Amino acid sequence: MRVLAVLVWAPLVLIVATILGAVGALASQLPIASLAEALASDETRFAVAMSLRSSLTALALALALGVPSAWLLARRRFPGKPVVETILDLPMVTPPLVAGIGLLFLLGREAPVGGALSAMGLELLFSPAGVILAQTYIATSVIVRSARAAFGAVDPGFAANAATLGIPPFWAFLLVEVPMAGRALLAAAVLGWARALGEFGATLMVAGATRMQTETLPMAVFLNIASGRTDIAIACALILLALAFALLLAIRLLTAERDDSLREDADVRFAA
């Protein structure tokens, strides 16, 4: 039994210790005074504000696109559905750098789509709009997959009952299915937001790396490590880690409460 306990606990302890060791080593590279100065710098504040603005905008766009798409995938059958689902999963398994190159070629001025947008005065590449585009592209795939599972866990009979009461399908979706999947959808939104906050590769290709213009937190880490400003790089990295930890903890709490409620419902049904 003691050998079994060691075999079970040792890998977990090793993984946790490695992660904490890496974070601790990162934080210990700067004295407290230097870290406070780096955190208060204009560049750090710009990167934080840029990351929050762009990621929240990307989250809103990803929810507007992803939630209806997820409902359709969960509720409807149509020809080619497995192929569509596979395409939607591609951004999750493709390196963001590759996705960014694809978007760069798609939206370049010489491409049909990019040329049409340029003719209308819409310049997405190498601008803050490009940051939002790259983050939306990555976050939407995460939200579609998570929201699809959320709607799949909701009994479609509730919406059917609402229809018998004369409630239109759109309002049944909005007033019945979305609230019933609300906690899981909120967890999907938090996960998508976390993914948008940490996005780097696609942003680098689509928006470029320009200080005080397209400089998100990951971009600030990259730029300052490359230029030798390790103080600002470490400060931005620690802010990014703190935000990621808070968002991931929120997801854990949301999903834990949802799992508890599901278990309670199952116990009630079993007892009945």
pLDDT tens, residue by residue, 25-69: 888 887 888 888 888 888 899 999 999 999 999 999 999 999 999
Mean pLDDT calculated for residue range 127-153: 91
Given a cut of 80, whether residue 13 has pLDDT beyond it is yes
Average pLDDT score, the chain: 85
| Radius of gyration (C-alpha) of the chain in whole angstroms | 22
CB atoms within 10 A of CB 41: 16
Give 5's Cβ-side CA count (13 Å radius): 2
Which backbone phi and psi does 269 adopt, to 5 degrees?
A: -65, -40
Is residue 91 packed enough to be buried (19+ CB in 10 Å), middle (13-18) or exposed (0-12)?
A: buried
Q: What is the pLDDT of residue 268?
A: 44
**Which run of H or of E encompasses 114?**
helix 112-119
CATH number for the region 39-271 comes to 1.10.3720.10
Give the separation between CA 60 and CA 140, rounded to whole angstroms: 10
Does residue 258 carry a pLDDT above 70?
no
Helices (H) and strands (E) in the chain, counts: 14, 0
**Percentage of the chain lying above the pLDDT 90 cut:** 30
Rounded to an integer, the average pLDDT of 106-111 is 82
Helices 230-271 and 2-27 pack at an angle, to 10 degrees, of: 140
Q: Looking at the predicted structure, is the pLDDT value of residue 267 above 70?
A: no
pLDDT in tens, 208-242: 888 889 999 999 999 998 888 888 888 899 999 99
Task: Read off the pLDDT of residues 159-200 as tens digits, 9 standing for 90 and up.
Answer: 888 888 888 888 888 888 888 888 889 989 999 999 999 999
For 258, the token pair is 């949802």
pLDDT given for residue 61 in this prediction: 95
Q: How much is the pLDDT for 56?
A: 94
Report yes or no: 182 and 173 within 8 Å, Cβ to Cβ: no
- pLDDT of 75 above 70: yes
Contacts of 37 (CB under 8 A, 6+ apart): 231
Contact of 106 with 133, CB cutoff 8 Å? no
Q: What pLDDT was estimated at residue 254?
A: 78
**HSE-up of residue 64 (Cα within 13 Å, Cβ side):** 7
At residue 261 the predicted structure's pLDDT band, cuts being 50, 70 and 90, is: low
Residues in the chain: 272
